[in-house]
Amino acid sequence: MATEKLLLLEDDAALGRSLKISLELEGYQVEWARDVRTAEGLAPTRDFDLMLFDWNLPDGTGLELCRRLREDAKLATPILFLTARTDEESAIAALESGAQDFVRKPFGPRELVARIRAALRQNAEREAELRFGELRALPRERRAFFGDEEIDLNRREFDVLCVLLRRADAVVTREELLESIDREGNLFDRTIDSHVSHLRARLKKAEVHGVQIASVYGVGYRLEKVEA
C-alpha cells in the first residue's frame, strides 16, 4: 500500500473531492488546495512526494506555479498536470516548465495511479544520489561523502543535509526544514538550529570545502558554493 504524500491543486469541488477520496483509498496522503496561492504556500513546506496540478485556477495557472517552484524555490518534486487541454503546444509547455507528465481529462483512476507510480519510480531513481559540488548523499543507503571520504552523520544531521542538497542554492526556512525532517511532530523550531550547528561541525571535521551552509538571518539556511 502506498504511503506517499501528494499535493492536489484542483478548483473543481466535485472532481477534487473524487480524486482525493480515490487516491486516499490507494493509501496516499492527499492535501487538497483549490487555488494557486494556497498551493504555493504548501508546496515548499510539506515535503510532498508528488504534486498534481490543474491548469486553470481562479488566481492563476498551474503552469505559472510549476515554473516558480522550479526556478525560484528550486523544488524538484515530481509534478503531473491534470487538464482537459489536448493540444500539443500545451503538453510541450507543461513539460518544459518542469512537469514530469501531462494527463489529459477525462482519465480513469487506474490510469492516474499508474502515472503517479511511474513518476515516483523515476524520481526515486534520480534521488539515488544527491550532489552539490563534491558533497553528496545516498538517501537509500543513508550515507554522505565529500569526494571519496565518508562523513559520519547521525539521523537528523543526515536528514537536514538531504533537504539542503535537494534545495541547493535556495533559501530553506526553519519551518520547511522542520516539516521535512519531523513528520512525527516531535521537534521544536529552534531544535533545527542545533541540528544545523552539529551538521556544520561534522562537515568541518570532515574538511569539507567549497560548500557551506549559510545562515539567512531571520529566515533559515542555504547550501551554497564558496571559493575553496
Boundary (domain end) residue, out of 99, 126, 153 = 126
Position 182 scores a pLDDT of 66
Across all residues in the chain, what is the average pLDDT? 89
Regarding whether 65 and 145 lie in a shared domain, the answer is: no
Residue of 90, 80, 86, 37 lying closest to 60 (CA atoms): 37
Angle between helices 191-205 and 174-181 (to 10 degrees): 80
Q: Chain centroid to CA 119: how far?
A: 13
Please, which pLDDT band fits residue 188 given cuts at 50, 70 and 90? Answer: low
Position 160 scores a pLDDT of 93
Q: Per-residue pLDDT for 86 more than 70?
A: yes
The answer to whether the CB of 129 falls within 8 A of the CB of 161 is no
Please, which pLDDT band fits residue 41 given cuts at 50, 70 and 90? Answer: very high
Q: Per-residue pLDDT for 187 more than 60?
A: no
* 78-93 mean pLDDT: 90
Residue of 66, 49, 73 lying closest to 126 (CA atoms): 49
Regarding whether 59 and 89 lie in a shared domain, the answer is: yes
Domain, as residue range, for 170: 130-225
Regarding whether 32 and 84 lie in a shared domain, the answer is: yes
Regarding whether 121 and 136 lie in a shared domain, the answer is: no
Regarding whether 136 and 118 lie in a shared domain, the answer is: no
Regarding whether 192 and 137 lie in a shared domain, the answer is: yes
What global pTM score does this model have?
A: 0.68
Q: Per-residue pLDDT for 190 more than 90?
A: no
Position 132 scores a pLDDT of 92
In angstroms, the CA 39 to CA 73 distance is 13
The answer to whether the CB of 16 falls within 8 A of the CB of 57 is no
Question: Residue 16's CB: how many other CB atoms inside 10 A?
Answer: 19
Regarding whether 112 and 16 lie in a shared domain, the answer is: yes
* 195-206 mean pLDDT: 94
Kindly report, residue by residue over 99-154, the tens digit of the pLDDT. 999 899 889 989 999 999 999 988 877 777 889 999 999 988 889 999 999 999 99
Regarding whether 100 and 80 lie in a shared domain, the answer is: yes
* 201-216 mean pLDDT: 94
Boundary (domain end) residue, out of 93, 111, 126 = 126
Cα distances (Å, whole numbers) of residue 78 to 53, 98, 148, 172, 221: 11, 8, 30, 19, 23
In angstroms, the CA 189 to CA 194 distance is 10
Domains: count for the chain: 2
Position 114 scores a pLDDT of 94
Regarding whether 141 and 213 lie in a shared domain, the answer is: yes
In angstroms, the CA 48 to CA 42 distance is 9
* 64-72 mean pLDDT: 91
Regarding whether 135 and 26 lie in a shared domain, the answer is: no
We report the CATH number of the domain holding residue 89 as 3.40.50.2300
Regarding whether 110 and 54 lie in a shared domain, the answer is: yes
Q: Per-residue pLDDT for 183 more than 60?
A: no
We report the CATH number of the domain holding residue 164 as 1.10.10.10
Regarding whether 102 and 80 lie in a shared domain, the answer is: yes
Boundary (domain end) residue, out of 126, 149, 164 = 126
Q: Which of 24-33, 67-76, 140-149 has the lowest mean pLDDT?
A: 67-76
In angstroms, the CA 139 to CA 163 distance is 11
The answer to whether the CB of 160 falls within 8 A of the CB of 154 is no
